[in-house]
Structures are given as C-alpha cells and as structure tokens.
Amino acid sequence: MSNGLIKPLSLPASWVIGWREIDEDHEIILQVINGCIAAYDGTTVVGFEDEFKALRDRVRGHFDHEERFMEHLNYPGLRWHHAHHRKWLEHLDDLRATCSRKGYADYDDILVCYDQVLSDIVKADLVLQSYLLEIGFNKPQTRLGAA
C-alpha cells in the first residue's frame, strides 16, 4: 500500500516472536497503519476517524488474542503485559481524541502509532519471545507474504 508520497512501513525481520498467529497479527496491524499512509494526501490522513478506529479494533483484537495465548502458556509476565496493553490502548484513544479535536490526523500522528507498535514489540513481545525459547516452544514460523 502506498500513496506515492511515503513508503510503507515495515517491521524488522528479527522481531518475529515465534508464534505465527501473533506475528501475523503484528503484520496486519502494520497493514492498517500503512492504510493510514495510503490515505495520507500530503497534509492529512483522509478519513482518519475510520482509519484510527480500524487500528484500535485490530490492536484490541490482537491484545486479546495475545493474552489468551499467554494465559494458555502460564506466562509469568501476563499481568504486566495486560497492564501494558491497557496503557497502549489508552494512548491510542488519547491520540484519536486529539486528532478529533483538531479535526485531522497527519503523518506525525501515523508515526506515533507506528512507534507504539514498535515499543510494544520491544518492551513486551520480545520478552515473550525469550520465554518461548526458554520453555522450548517451537511452532512453524512464516511471515505474511512469505512463500
């Protein structure tokens, strides 16, 4: 997805967690953010309300999915991870409210969303990745779009 103004964003390959469904969720969230980029007209994100709602819905679904997975594994960091997710959603809600008050979203607002995704993966999900390795969890891994 591209509007010709800005290249789509991507995640580093080294940030694969090791659970296909979670990694695919991350890719789908990134696709939604790239949808915001595609809607960017050089000044604002056209239809930002719908784009940000889609992002929040996708992120919320991912967090619920991820937390169920962690619960299934008896992941010791689940309580912290859950609180981290709630703060992330609050931050996204604050950003949506700010954009609604000013009447638009711009590229900087898209980058805030992208930074939040990166922050979530670095602060929380790579710790989960370490735990998965520690317990010997191994599930075949593919990335969206990979053969």
In the block, which residue shows the tokens 């735990």? 131
Where do the H-state alpha helices sit in 46-106?
A: 48-72, 78-102
pLDDT-based confidence at residue 91 (cuts at 50, 70, 90): very high
Q: Is residue 146 part of a domain?
A: no
pLDDT-based confidence at residue 75 (cuts at 50, 70, 90): very high
CB burial of residue 73 (10 Å; 0-12, 13-18, 19+):
middle
- pTM for this prediction: 0.82
Kindly state the average pLDDT of the residues 3-31.
83
Q: Is residue 5 part of a domain?
A: no
Q: Is residue 35 part of a domain?
A: yes
What's the distance, CA 41 to chain centroid? 23
In the chain, the number of structural domains is: 1
pLDDT at residue 143 in the model:
43
Q: What is the residue range of 113's domain?
A: 18-134
Length of the chain, in residues: 147
Which amino acid type is present at position 82? H
Which is nearest to 120 in space by CA: 93, 68, 80, 73? Answer: 80
pLDDT at residue 2 in the model:
45
